[in-house]
């Protein structure tokens, strides 16, 4: 039975096909709307608009469900590893052992960076925010690997670009951090796993040995899994839109990094910790700050709270909150920010303003507390989000390019001046 939506425009009836997804989500396919009716739709912020069909990630904001390629985030966080999840997102299936070994080995073989990229760091001020550095470096990779610019690149060339991104971004991220300290950079060690290598490059010093703590390594791996994809969020949509012009994947990812940096998106994890520190310095106490968050005349918002899609708990926030207690206990860390965060959450969840608007903690509310416990500095928090989200961006780009989707080019409704004649300056 073909379902359709009927709309009456200027007394005329039009039928638009209904498309239903594999989880029962309903949509009205408006592909033919303008050609048939001359009308377009209007939806600022795309709050009601599906930009694509996708088989990568399913989330149900009302029920707090998140699945990558059909596997629940809870199972993957408990049983999988970040590289296995990256393979799953990009290729659609969990890898067999030989496939995962090959994927891991190829990434290991590409962790080194062209030494000429180190000269780029000299152009940044020492206090450069690492997200600005990473966006520049990701785009610069397209100049070091010009083959990636060819829009008709072969599947092998695309696979090499994907491998280079997954392999080199952690190296470049740690170099941005070391550069900000004026410390010598560390080179990757092929004997280490993905997260252990990152921690080694971040924290090893020439003057002392650095041993990776397996608890820290596991916690980092779990955090990266939890950030790996989230369907058509702001940065993934940016990667898709930029990528739809057939620009290099490096440049599309650079656009995604820039978009993620925003405080309403991935930049919120840094804002949360800065907010908790401010509340701690102010003597704590959730009531004053919740009142500020509710006051429309006050620019303060409860960062890490609320979500465009989740109108129930963000399942990732629930997992991270549990991991917070576990990691801080294992590392013997007592961070007052965690107590303040828990107090804020408890107070907000019983406050009418937050309950009415269905505002719950999101992925960014507790993640910064763990990153800090792992020794990651605050302005690197959003870089950690980007490293986690990288396989998701790649999967979204690959799906969009693989389907040969057209260049993204939204319409608009013009509300400016109608035709008028030029007036010479002496007559204005
Ligand atoms: C991420 O999309 C994704 O999937 C993103 C992400 C991913 O994995 O990619 O999940 C990652 O970006 C998480 C979100 C991180 N951002 C923050 O934590 C910033 C704080 N949150 C808000 O700015 C806000 O909740 C957004 C941006 C997340 C969502 O904004 P929406 O969907 O546009 O909702 P809105 O701003 O229209 O808010 C609805 C109401 C408003 O009040 P009224 O006008 O109805 O009176 O809720 C209020 C807002 O003022 N509100 C908040 C609030 N968030 C929303 N009030 C106080 N504090 C907040 N945090």
Cβ pair 256, 107 in contact under 8 A: no
In DSSP terms, 361 is beta-bridged to: 305
Cα separation, 70 vs 22, whole angstroms: 11
User: Which residue CA neighbors atom 13 of ligand 1 most closely?
Assistant: 265
Cβ pair 268, 378 in contact under 8 A: no
Cα separation, 360 vs 5, whole angstroms: 34
Cβ pair 236, 256 in contact under 8 A: yes
User: Which residue CA neighbors atom 21 of ligand 1 most closely?
Assistant: 306
Atom of ligand 1 nearest to the CA of 272: 18
The residues, ordered by sequence, that sit 6+ positions from 241 with a Cβ below 8 Å of its Cβ are 255, 408
Instruction: Please provide residue 21's backbone torsions phi and psi, each rounded to the nearest 5 degrees.
Output: -80, 180
* Tens-digit pLDDT profile for residues 99-155: 999 999 999 999 999 999 999 999 999 999 999 999 999 999 999 999 999 888 899
Instruction: State the pLDDT at residue 151.
Output: 81
Instruction: State the pLDDT at residue 93.
Output: 98
1 in helix, strand or coil?
A: coil
* Tens-digit pLDDT profile for residues 17-44: 999 999 999 999 999 999 999 999 999 9
Measured from CB, residues less than 6 Å from any atom of ligand 1 are 230, 233-234, 264-266, 268, 293, 301-309, 357, 359, 362-364
Q: Distance, CA 131 to ligand 1 centroid (Å)?
A: 21
- The β-bridge relationship of strands 4-9 and 12-20 is antiparallel
Atom of ligand 1 nearest to the CA of 362: 13
The length of the chain in residues reads 428
Among residues 326, 355, 356, 352, the alpha carbon closest in space to that of 338 is found at 326
Among 307, 312, 388, 393, which residue has the most ligand 1 atoms within 8 Å of its CB, making it the best to mutate?
307
Cβ pair 28, 18 in contact under 8 A: yes
The sheet carrying 57-60 orders its strands as 57-60, 65-68, 71-72
* Tens-digit pLDDT profile for residues 207-226: 998 999 999 999 999 999 99
pLDDT of 1 higher than 70: no
Cβ pair 351, 286 in contact under 8 A: no
Q: Distance, CA 265 to ligand 1 centroid (Å)?
A: 9
Cα separation, 90 vs 397, whole angstroms: 9
Torsion of CA 252, 258, 262, 267, to 10 degrees: 100
Q: Catalytic residue numbers?
A: 307, 364
Q: Give, as one character, the DSSP assignment of residue 425.
A: G
Instruction: State the pLDDT at residue 209.
Output: 86
For the beta carbon of residue 385, count every other beta carbon within 10 angstroms.
30
* Cα 31 to the center of its chain, rounded Å: 28
Instruction: State the pLDDT at residue 156.
Output: 95
Helices then strands, counting H and E runs in the chain, come out as 18, 6
* Tens-digit pLDDT profile for residues 345-400: 999 999 999 999 999 999 999 999 999 999 999 999 999 999 999 999 999 999 99
Instruction: State the pLDDT at residue 157.
Output: 95
* Tens-digit pLDDT profile for residues 263-309: 999 999 999 999 999 999 998 789 999 999 999 999 999 999 999 99
Residue the block writes with tokens 């004053």: 288
User: Which residue CA neighbors atom 8 of ligand 1 most closely?
Assistant: 230
Among residues 412, 324, 386, 400, the alpha carbon closest in space to that of 166 is found at 386
Residue the block writes with tokens 């406050």: 351
Q: pTM for the complete prediction?
A: 0.96
* Tens-digit pLDDT profile for residues 81-104: 999 999 999 999 999 999 999 999
Query: Rounded to 5, what percent of the chain is helix, strand, coil?
Result: 55, 5, 40
The residues, ordered by sequence, that sit 6+ positions from 351 with a Cβ below 8 Å of its Cβ are 290, 294
For the beta carbon of residue 324, count every other beta carbon within 10 angstroms.
24
Determine the longest span between alpha carbons in the chain, in angstroms.
Answer: 80
Averaged pLDDT of the chain: 96
Q: H or E segment at 5?
A: strand 4-9
Cα separation, 27 vs 243, whole angstroms: 24
Output the six-digit token pair for 314: 């963000």
Instruction: State the pLDDT at residue 387.
Output: 98
Question: Which domains are assigned to the chain?
Answer: 4-65 (2.20.28), 71-265+392-402 (1.10.580.10), 268-373 (1.10.230.10)
In DSSP terms, 15 is beta-bridged to: 6
| Exposure string for 179-200, b = 16+ CB within 10 A, e = fewer | bbeeeebbbbeeebbbbbbbbb
Cα separation, 402 vs 139, whole angstroms: 22
Q: Distance, CA 127 to ligand 1 centroid (Å)?
A: 29
DSSP 19-80: EE-TT--EEE--TTHHHHHS-----GGGTT------SSEEEETTTTEEEETTEEHHHHHHH-
Torsion of CA 169, 171, 177, 180, to 10 degrees: -100
Q: Distance, CA 383 to ligand 1 centroid (Å)?
A: 21
In DSSP terms, 66 is beta-bridged to: 59
Q: H or E segment at 6?
A: strand 4-9
Atom of ligand 1 nearest to the CA of 308: 32
Q: Distance, CA 240 to ligand 1 centroid (Å)?
A: 22
């Amino acid at each position: 039975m073909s379902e359709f939506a009927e709309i009456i425009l200027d007394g005329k009836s039009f039928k638009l096909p209904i498309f239903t997804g594999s989880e029962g989500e309903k949509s009205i396919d408006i592909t033919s709307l303008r050609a048939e009716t001359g009308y377009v739709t209007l939806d600022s912020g795309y709050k009601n608009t599906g930009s694509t069909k996708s088989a990568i990630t399913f989330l149900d904001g009302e029920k707090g469900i998140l699945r990558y390629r059909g596997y629940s985030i809870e199972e993957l966080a408990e049983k999988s590893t970040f590289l296995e999840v990256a393979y799953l997102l990009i290729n659609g299936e969990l890898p067999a052992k030989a496939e995962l070994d090959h994927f891991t080995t190829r990434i290991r073989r590409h962790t080194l960076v062209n030494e000429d990229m180190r000269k780029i760091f000299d152009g940044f001020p020492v206090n450069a925010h690492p997200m600005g550095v990473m966006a520049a470096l990701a785009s610069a990779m397209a100049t070091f690997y010009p083959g990636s610019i060819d829009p008709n690149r072969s599947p092998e060339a695309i696979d090499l670009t994907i491998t280079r991104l997954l392999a080199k971004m952690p190296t470049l991220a740690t170099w941005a951090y070391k550069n900000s300290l004026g410390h010598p950079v560390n080179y990757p060690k092929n004997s280490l796993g993905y997260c252990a290598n990152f921690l080694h490059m971040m924290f090893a010093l020439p003057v002392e040995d650095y041993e990776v703590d397996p608890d820290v390594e596991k916690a980092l791996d779990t955090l990266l899994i939890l950030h790996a994809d989230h369907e058509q969020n702001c940065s993934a949509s940016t990667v898709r839109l930029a990528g739809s012009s057939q620009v290099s994947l490096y440049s599309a990812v650079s656009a995604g990094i820039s978009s993620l940096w925003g405080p309403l998106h991935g930049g919120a994890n840094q804002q949360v910790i800065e907010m908790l520190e401010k509340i701690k310095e102010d003597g704590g106490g959730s009531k004053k700050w919740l009142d500020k968050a509710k006051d429309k005349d006050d620019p303060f918002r409860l960062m890490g709270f609320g979500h465009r899609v989740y109108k129930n708990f963000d399942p990732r926030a629930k997992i991270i909150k549990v991991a917070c207690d576990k990691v801080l206990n294992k590392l013997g860390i007592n961070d007052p920010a965690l107590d303040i965060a828990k107090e804020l959450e408890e107070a907000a969840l019983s406050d009418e303003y937050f309950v009415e608007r269905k505002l719950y903690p999101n992925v960014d509310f507790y993640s910064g507390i763990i990153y800090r416990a792992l020794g990651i500095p605050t302005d690197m928090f959003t870089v950690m989000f980007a490293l986690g989200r990288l396989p998701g961006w790649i999967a979204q780009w690959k799906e969009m390019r693989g389907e040969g989707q057209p260049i993204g080019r939204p319409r608009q409704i013009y509300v400016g001046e109608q035709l008028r004649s030029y007036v010479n300056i002496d007559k204005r």
